[in-house]
Structure 1
Amino acid sequence: MNDESVRAWRADAQLPGTVLLDGFHPLKHALRFGGNVRRVLTADRAALLALAAELAPDVLPALDGLAAELPEAGLRALVPRLHPTGVVALADRRTAGANLAALTGRPRPAPVVLLENPRNLGNVGAVIRLAAGFGATGVVTTGDLDPWHPTVVRGSAGLHYATAVERLALAELPAGPLYVLDPEGADIRTLSFPDDALLAFGTERHGVSAELKARADRLVAVPMQPGVSSFNLATSVAMGLFHWMSGRPPGLGGD
């Protein structure tokens, strides 16, 4: 085991704002979208570089300069659960300043997704992945859950670096018309979402709070068959962002 690599990793892992990138795809996206990746460890350096050459040649030069090899047993001692690709990395969290600049800049070319008090780490990661894919301005969460938790970053495949991800209080929300997804709202098919909308989604169990509903400019409902209690949170976000994108000409936002 490379003791120097282990000591350096453990020291860096304790630094404020450090993000664990667990697996090849989060590492690939962090490098591709400008994340500051500080350390990369792998059980098989040659295999990692070959994988990058096949799937992401744009990040290969940076990866070649960062990747160090450590036996699998050593990697497993550093992380709670080793990804099947045998790759782990440490990076800097995207700064709050950069996130807030993107979220609050006007005019805003694409909606912000608001998750009110989400509870499931995997759901939040899936939403961030969707937001990046659709070209949303960013994802804002409220409540106690850290949207940069390692499980969330794993679920997003590292696409935190492709969009603005920040935790804010309701009083700190970016400006813009607030469209709240709620069963009591108007049918989503009867309206369109403006580019600068905040698209708000409630908790997986209880939906949106009375406070958020009271602040809404519009309540919006996705039609659902009788007897079906709810859609998955990420599915609801996907429907909302697809509805926004469908209202724009090809080549404008979300493309």
Structure 2
Amino acid sequence: MSVGKAGTESTDVVRRWRAHADDCVLLDGFHALKHALRFGAEIPLVLTSDRQGALDLAADLAPDVAGALAARAVDVPDDVLRTLVPRLHPTRVAALAVRPSRTARLAALSDTARRAPVVVLDQPRNLGNAGAVIRLAAGFGATGVVTTGPLDPWHSTVVRGAAGLHFATAVEQLSVPELPAGPLFALDPEGKDIRSYVLPDDALLAFGSERSGISPELRDRADHLVSLPMRSQVSSYNLATSVGMTLFHWSAGHEFG
């Protein structure tokens, strides 16, 4: 291939990427792309500066998506790819995915016959922590994750932290009055020990920040304040640990497919 032709193709790829970027979610790295493919995301563009390395990763770690990756992956020079993403993932893979319909996400969250809880993050601040929670929620089969406050749960750093598992659950940003119906269990140090409850499948499980806890507005909305068992003089668990412990408590007796 001539240098001129390669340059023209790179220019075309950059043009296509930028045409989609504002309306799509950045999938940063192989693992985010892998999960998006598995859970049916619409992916208009996949770029890599190491196509063979990406295909080898798929063959080794995710053969179920190897064919889809091979059909989509476009090889581009490393310096071109670095101009399109904030920081290039070590796997040297980046893709764009269409964000699922908000109507569909809200319908899943508001379904009164929910068979798994909704996780509510009240005024979260850390993008990486939010991503870790979404990854946990997807692993436990939670109906979705809702954030209140200004943090965008679809921010590229959150998607990276969740390894693309936004597409395995319903992720939405709502105000407290907009939360779906269902009994709300808010984690609070002064609450009743969570082990005294059987958490229903349609529960909302709400978590505040490690520093300030749940907001007064969410506290007023809560049906139950619950606490996690913890040794005295230990200040708190981190957010993802708290969510994982609570979802594990809910999951007792449930099967995962």
User: What is the alpha-carbon distance in structure 2 between the residues aligned to residue 38 and residue 175 of structure 1?
Assistant: 35
Question: What amino acid maps onto 1:143 in structure 2?
Answer: G
1:42 aligns with 2:51: no
Displacement of 1:12 in angstroms is 1.5
Shift of 1:204: 3.0
* Aligned residue type for 1:176: G
Shift of 1:242: 0.3
Amino acid at match of 2:229: P
1:10 corresponding residue in structure 2: 18
1:233 aligns with 2:239: yes
Counterpart of 1:77, as a letter, is: T
Distance 2:208 2:50 in 1: 43
The 1-side partners of 2:52 and 2:225 are apart by 53
1:79-98 mapped onto 2 (5 Å cutoff) = 79-98=85-104
Partners of 1:96 and 1:74 in 2: CA distance: 32
Q: Tell me the amino acid that sits aligned with residue 14 of structure 2.
A: V
Contact 1:118-1:204 at 8 Å conserved across structures: no
Alignment of 1:164 with 2:170, yes or no, is yes
2:181 corresponds to which of 161, 175, 200:
175
Q: Deviations over 1:135-166 (max 9, x none)?
A: 11000001000000000000000000000000
2:141 matched to which residue of 1? 135
Matched residue, 1:198: 204
Correspondence list, 1:216-227, <5 A:
216-227=222-233
CA distance in 2, matches of 1:191, 1:8: 52
Q: Which residue of 1 aligns with 2:57?
A: 51
8 Å contact kept, 2:176–2:217? no
Tell me by how many angstroms 1:223 deviates: 2.1
Q: Which runs of 4+ in 1 moved over 3 A?
A: none
Q: Find the aligned partners of 2:188 and 2:99 in 1 and give their Cα distance.
A: 32
Shift of 1:216: 1.2
Task: Number of aligned residue pairs: give it.
Answer: 249
- Matched with 1:214 is 220
Q: TM-score, normalised by structure 2?
A: 0.94
> Is the partner of 2:97 in helix, strand or coil?
strand
TM-score by length of 1: 0.95
**What SS does structure 1 have at the residue aligned with 2:96?**
strand
CA distance in 2, matches of 1:108, 1:4: 45
* 2:162 is equivalent to residue 118 of structure 1: no
Residue 235 of structure 2 aligns to a residue whose secondary structure is coil
What residue identity is the alignment partner of 1:135?
G
SS of residue in 2 equivalent to 1:133: helix
Output the aligned Cα RMSD.
1.1
| Distance (whole Å) between structure 2 residues aligned to residue 11 and residue 111 of structure 1 | 37
Of the structure 1 ranges 234-243 and 61-70, higher mean CA displacement relative to structure 2 is found in 61-70
Distance 1:78 1:176 in 2: 42
Alignment partner of 1:21: what SS? strand
Report the CA distance between 1:44 and its aligned residue: 1.6
Equivalent position of 1:22 in the other structure? 28
Picking from 94, 100, 106, the partner of 1:100 is: 106
- Higher mean Cα deviation, 211-220 or 140-149? 211-220
* Distance across 2 between alignment mates of 1:86 and 1:202: 35
Secondary structure of residue in 2 paired with 1:37: coil
Residues in 2 aligned to 1:11 and 1:99: alpha-carbon distance in whole angstroms: 25
Deviation by residue 1:206-225 (Cα, 9 ceiling, x = unmatched): 10012211221111011222
> 1:84 deviation in Å?
0.3
